[in-house]
């Protein structure tokens, strides 16, 4: 089965609720995975432990990732799309790729925008790569065109269109997602940015601490 959850921020306790997952299952994380952050030995041991779990863990990046460390990971293919491979069965889903998991198509597009950027900049924990590039957006458009602009699920960190309320000025990612929502046929859109577990509309789901089957 395929499950989805929200931002984990490197909290290993979040996997306590994943005991019902079985061998061969997949857990999708909607951004801010956080287990690749400081590059230290303790973090490396924890990542190896996650990689030995009986199910695969696949995450889109959020705004709070160490993109320098992510870029050093091996790039390979997984279920039809490009990924960064971390230890064992842990994968970073790259922006604009389409993956086929258990016969279902997933469009993945990570990234976001830090609102309190100065705090992270002062701490040396902010990377401009958090915000998607135009080339990544074009990459997503190409892959969606290749599959007839039809997928089963969309998985992002940033909210689906009109789901975030009044959180400030719109940006280029909002505009991109607006276009996707109009042009792409999909069943459900899962996103993690709002840190809430709530069905927003019939097709748009904000996920955080719960671990939900995608169907």
Residue 154 has what pLDDT?
A: 98
Of 9-13, 41-45, 117-121, the range with the lowest mean pLDDT is: 117-121
Q: What separation in angstroms does the CA of 10 have from each of 7, 175, 187?
A: 9, 30, 29
Residue with tokens 């993945």: 108
Domain that holds residue 144: 2-213
Average pLDDT of 153-164?
Answer: 92
Residue with tokens 């290993």: 12
pLDDT in tens, 118-155: 666 656 676 688 999 999 999 999 999 999 999 999 99
Q: What separation in angstroms does the CA of 154 have from each of 92, 119, 187?
A: 15, 31, 8
Residue with tokens 């799309």: 81
Say if CB 79 and CB 209 are below 8 A apart.
no
Non-local (6+) Cβ contacts of 53 within 8 A are: 15, 18, 21, 88, 89
Could you count the other beta carbons within 10 Å of the beta carbon of residue 141?
A: 17
Residue 167: beta bridge partners?
Answer: none
- Helix H or strand E segment including 142: helix 134-146
Q: Report residue 185 CA to chain centroid gap.
A: 19
CATH number for the domain including 27?
Answer: 3.60.21.10
Residue 162 has what pLDDT?
A: 84
- The model's confidence at residue 163, banded by pLDDT at 50, 70 and 90, is confident
130: closest CA among 33, 56, 50?
33
Say if CB 94 and CB 108 are below 8 A apart.
yes
Q: How many domains does the chain have?
A: 1
Q: Is the pLDDT of residue 101 over 90?
A: yes
Residue 144 has what pLDDT?
A: 98
Residue 170 has what pLDDT?
A: 85
Q: What is the largest CA-CA distance in the chain?
A: 45
Residue with tokens 């432990």: 49
Residue 119 has what pLDDT?
A: 64
Alpha carbon distance 76, 82 (integer Å): 6
Q: If DSSP codes are grouped into helix, strand and coil, which group holds residue 128?
A: helix
């Amino acid at each position: 089965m395929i499950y989805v959850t929200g931002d984990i921020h490197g909290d290993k306790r979040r996997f306590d609720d994943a005991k019902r997952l079985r061998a061969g299952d997949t857990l999708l994380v909607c951004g801010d995975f956080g287990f690749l952050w400081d590059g230290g030995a303790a973090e490396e041991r924890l990542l190896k432990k996650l990689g030995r779990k009986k199910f695969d863990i696949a995450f889109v990046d959020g705004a709070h990732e160490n993109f320098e460390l992510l870029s050093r990971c091996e790039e390979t293919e997984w279920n039809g799309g490009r990924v960064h491979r971390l230890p064992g069965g842990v994968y970073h889903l790259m922006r604009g790729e389409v993956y086929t998991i258990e016969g279902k198509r997933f469009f993945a597009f990570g990234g976001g925008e830090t609102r309190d950027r100065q705090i992270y900049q002062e701490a040396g924990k902010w990377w401009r790569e958090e915000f998607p590039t135009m080339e990544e957006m074009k990459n997503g458009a190409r892959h969606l065109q290749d599959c007839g602009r039809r997928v089963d699920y969309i998985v992002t960190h940033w909210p689906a269109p009109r789901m975030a309320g009044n959180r400030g000025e719109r940006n280029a990612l909002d505009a991109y997602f607006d276009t996707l929502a109009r042009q792409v046929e999909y069943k459900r859109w899962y996103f993690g940015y709002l840190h809430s577990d709530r069905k927003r509309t019939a097709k748009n789901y904000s996920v955080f601490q719960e671990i939900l089957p995608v169907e």
